[in-house]
Amino acid sequence: MSTSAPEWIPLLVPDMPSPEELLPWLRRMHATHHYSNFGPLVRELEAAFARRFALPQAQLTTVANATQGLELVLQALDLPAGARVLIPAFTFVATATAVLRAGFTPVLADVDAHCWMLTPAIARDACQHMHIDAVLPVATFGMPHGMLEWHQFEKETGLPVVIDAAAAYGSQWLQGAEGTLVFSLHTTKSLPAGEGGLVVSTRPGLAAKVRQLSNFGINLDPAADVPVGALAGVGTNAKMSEYHAAIGLVSLSKWELSAQSRQALQCDLTTALSAAANGRLVWQAQGCDASLMAPTLLCARLPDAQTRATLERLCAEARIMTRRWYQPLLTGMQVLQGRAIELNAHRAIDLGETLLGLPFFPDMALEQRQRIQDVVARACGGQ
Ligand SMILES: Cc1ncc(COP(=O)(O)O)c(C=O)c1O
């Protein structure tokens, strides 16, 4: 009797609401005949966010996705032409493309060796070496930044800071400080709406300006200098649809439960894999004054590039999907050569050579967990 190969263990499985859960919201949408353009469901979602952030609704706006949210925030900041925006070299490409598409120059900085993020200390150092106009740190893999520290940096330097908190909904809060945050509500994120984004900002007028730019730049305010219906700026169409808001509202109603189960899964997996690897795996350190509330990924750092390659190979043989997250690094992307300025990023390079994304999704079966544990033990010599 031939034993068939086991099914591949996927890297991620989206945790999206079911059609049954969506139906009441879709019925509501259809009854109003309002499908986009800041309809009732988008406004309800925004009101729910405003309550959670304890901010006036005018200080946040939904957008079609985080990439456009970042672009529009950068545009709304009125930075000087050719402005240099400091970003980490270790991030998803959208952080860099947002800067370029807003007409600015990304400056690629190093990251901290423990939390894998661009920190205020790294930003201060970069500012001493070259002129920087704004800073765009990333809440890497959803790890929140300490906002008091970043606000202190803003006050000290006068530079605007925008946190690319794409993966950090539910983990990244303002923590009583002033600040600007951009979240993604993509299917793979902790609050999935299919596609979507959320901009939160205490900077006066910023969220309203982003909202206007997300609606082509059309003025809708009778008290403004330009007539209602006229362009107040060169915007784009980055509005969230009512369909996406419906998904976001269902996801929000279940967020706490989903976050708890993700935390429990992360705790179980990191404990089991650390033991399997005889303590040779390193995990991302918690950020400052805040913790990761709803992990969406599992990323292990191996002792060296060779062990990473061995683990990758053993995973492929055991039909376990893996991902070299954020590889190649931004510093190695050909399209960015000549368009971005590169600072020394040796810690980001080390990280890129030793990090491996492993499967992480709710309801991972015991057999799947055991299979991952076994290959980690073999790769790291724990057995
Ligand atoms: C760090 C970072 N920034 C931006 C984005 C883009 O988000 P969106 O897909 O909502 O445009 C992502 C998406 O994964 C991300 O990881």
Q: What is the CATH number of domain 255-379?
A: 3.90.1150.10
Question: 45 CA distance to ligand 1 centroid (A)?
Answer: 20
Beta strands in the chain (DSSP E): 60-63, 84-88, 105-109, 134-135, 163-164, 180-184, 197-201, 298-301, 341-342, 355-358
pLDDT tens digits in sequence order for the chain, 383 residues long: 557 889 999 999 999 999 999 999 999 999 999 999 999 999 999 999 999 999 999 999 999 999 999 999 999 999 999 999 999 999 999 999 999 999 999 999 999 999 999 999 999 999 999 999 999 999 999 999 999 999 999 999 999 999 999 999 999 999 999 999 999 999 999 999 999 999 999 999 999 999 999 999 999 999 999 999 999 999 999 999 999 999 999 999 999 999 999 999 999 999 999 999 999 999 999 876 678 999 999 999 999 999 999 999 999 999 999 999 999 999 999 999 999 999 999 999 999 999 999 999 999 999 999 999 999 999 997 54
pLDDT at 288: 65
Q: Where are the domains of the chain?
A: 19-253, 255-379
Question: 276 CA distance to ligand 1 centroid (A)?
Answer: 32
Residue closest by Cα to atom 7 of ligand 1: 66
Within 6 A (CB) of ligand 1 lie 65-67, 91-92, 94-95, 138, 164, 166-167, 184, 186, 197
Q: What is the atom index within ligand 1 of the atom nearest the CA of 197?
A: 10
Best residue among 93, 186, 299, 330 to mutate for probing ligand 1's pocket (most ligand atoms within 8 Å of CB) is 186
Residue closest by Cα to atom 16 of ligand 1: 92
Question: 39 CA distance to ligand 1 centroid (A)?
Answer: 24
DSSP H helical segments within 215-363, as ranges?
A: 242-253, 255-276, 305-317, 346-354
- Cis peptide upstream of residue 328 (ω within 30 degrees of 0): yes
Question: 214 CA distance to ligand 1 centroid (A)?
Answer: 17
DSSP symbol at 321: -
Question: 8 CA distance to ligand 1 centroid (A)?
Answer: 26
pLDDT at 383: 47
Reported CATH class of domain 19-253: alpha beta
Q: Residue 9: beta bridge partners? A: 320
Whether 255-379 and 19-253 are alike in CATH topology: the answer is: no
Closest CA to 181 of 149, 229, 138: 138
pLDDT at 2: 56
